[in-house]
Structures are given as C-alpha cells and as structure tokens.
Structure 1
Amino acid sequence: MKFSIQHAKDKAFAHDGLREYFDYRDLGIFDATDGKAVMHVIRASKGSNATGEWHRHELNFQFVYVLKGWAIFEYEGHGQHKLVEGTCVHQPPHIRHREIEHSDDFEVLEIVLPGEFKTITM
C-alpha cells in the first residue's frame, strides 16, 4: 500500500461514475490500495434526477455517509429510507436497492471494497 493525501483543490468532480445523475470525485484510495478499496465523494449532477432502477453490487463492503442534502432510497426487505446529512448506511453485499429521489445538493462519501466491482441492474 502507498501513502496518499489529497486536497479538494487537487481533484475536481467528474461525470464519469456508475450513475449518470451523479458526479464523482476520486479520493486516491484505489491507487493507494492497489485496487483493494475505492473511496469517493459523490454529488448530485446539476439538472438530473435519479432513475430509480433496482440494482445490486457484487462486492464485500459498501459504506455511505451523507455530507449534504437528502435522498430517498429503497432497500429490499427494509423499505424506503430518507437519508439526510449525517446518515450512515452500511449496505450489505448484494442487497437490492434503488434511489428514488434526491435533493439538488445531495452529497455523500462512499467507501467500497474491493475497488472494482460489478453492478447488476434488475
């Protein structure tokens, strides 16, 4: 593993992640851990909305911490939940879920292991 430090001014948000309605800012963890983990800040892309498709991720660990705004997610077997600033979610591996709606200023910190994983849309 490599040492990594990144300042906000070092890396801009990019429209290059899993969902077209989000922008992503890579925090350098994928490279620092040789792909064992990925960490990024995700924020709502201006003028776009969630599409609400059910999906699941083939991974070992997923953690989401809401930094700003709110979103409504639905988790299979657990119902709908409104995530607000300060909400912490551990999404167990393979849990089916979908995002229904989010605020224009929605922003989260996400940590995923491993750094590369497969998403299955249903």
Structure 2
Amino acid sequence: MHNQGTPRYDGPRELAQSLTPFARVSACAAVWNQEGLRADAEYRDLGLAAVTNGRIGAKHIRALKPFTDATGWHWHDMTAHYLYVLRGSVTFRFAGVEGNVTLNAGDDLSQPAGVPHNVIWRSDDLEVIEINEPAVYGTWDLAEPPAPWK
C-alpha cells in the first residue's frame, strides 16, 4: 500500500542516517538463557532493545519443563505488552475479564499493560514471542486475586 500523504520524516534515508541501526540476529547463533521470570522456561533476546535504545523489548520464550503451578497474580510496569503463540497453548486470567483467556498456536494478544494477570496453564511445548515496551520492566506480585477472581 502506498501512502499519498506527507511522510513522518524526510526520506528515503541512507543507511548511516536511519532511525534505527541495521541488525540481524541469526537463529544458528541464538543464545538461550534462563534469566527470565520463570524457572520452567528459557529465553532468547531478539535484539529489539539494543536497536531501539530500550524502547522496545522482544524475546522468544519456550517451555523447558512441565507446568506444575499457576504463576500467581502479578503485574508488570509496561506501557505495552504483546504475545504471539508460535507453538502450544497458554491460558490466562486477567483482572476485570470474566472467564479464562486461552491462546493457541497462531493466536496473539495485546495484554492490557499494567493489569494484573495469572498464567493458570500452559502446554509443555509452549513457544511464544513476547514484545514489550519498555524493554526493561518490573514485575510485582499481588497478595490476593483481583476482581472478578476474589
């Protein structure tokens, strides 16, 4: 689709004047680690934090062990939080949302940023892409479930 309106900035640009750097992350050179929120999963940084100066983070997350317990109610101080399921399934509960929210391979979700949630189930083969703003954020546990889950 071509836009006939006014562009947001002067362009086209030379590579040296681009708004973000050129960066390629090769799957064969991927580094997986367990430095995320969950001990039953491993994480791969997809490089967006580095090229956006921390504005956006993206990671590939995959299950390592069977899911034994819900994560518990928690929230993140993000301004945006997106999830895309590559493989498997995951079930959430969200504050203010009635019923379980289940995502399957090919489904995506804009998680309401800052809203408490609880992962109550996931398949043993779960793989997701998570995109968040900002790249670095905090996570806080709730002492009790929020409505309507009290």
TM-score, scaled relative to structure 1: 0.92
2:8 maps to: none
Q: How far 1:92 moved relative to its partner?
A: 1.5
CA contact (8 A) 2:63 2:125 kept: yes
2:141 maps to: 121
Aligned pair partner of 2:82 in 54, 63, 77: 63
Aligned pair partner of 2:61 in 23, 29, 42: 42
Structure 2: state its 5+ residue gaps.
1-19, 143-150
| Alpha-carbon separation, structure 2, partners of 1:66 and 1:50 | 20
| Alpha-carbon separation, structure 1, partners of 2:31 and 2:67 | 19
Over the aligned positions, Cα root-mean-square deviation in angstroms equals: 1.4
Which structure has more RCO (C-alpha within 8 Å, separation ≥ 6)?
A: 1
1:108 aligned onto 2:131: no
| Alpha-carbon separation, structure 2, partners of 1:101 and 1:71 | 6
The SS at the match of 2:49 is helix
How many residues matched? 122
2:120 aligned partner, one-letter code: I
Aligned pair partner of 1:94 in 102, 106, 114: 114
Q: How far 1:52 moved relative to its partner?
A: 2.7
Percent identity of the aligned residues? 34
Q: How far 1:47 moved relative to its partner?
A: 4.1
Q: Which runs of 4+ in 1 moved over 6 A?
A: none
Q: Computing the radius of gyration over CA atoms, which structure comes out larger, 1 or 2? A: 2
Structure 1: state its 5+ residue gaps.
none
2:40 maps to: 21
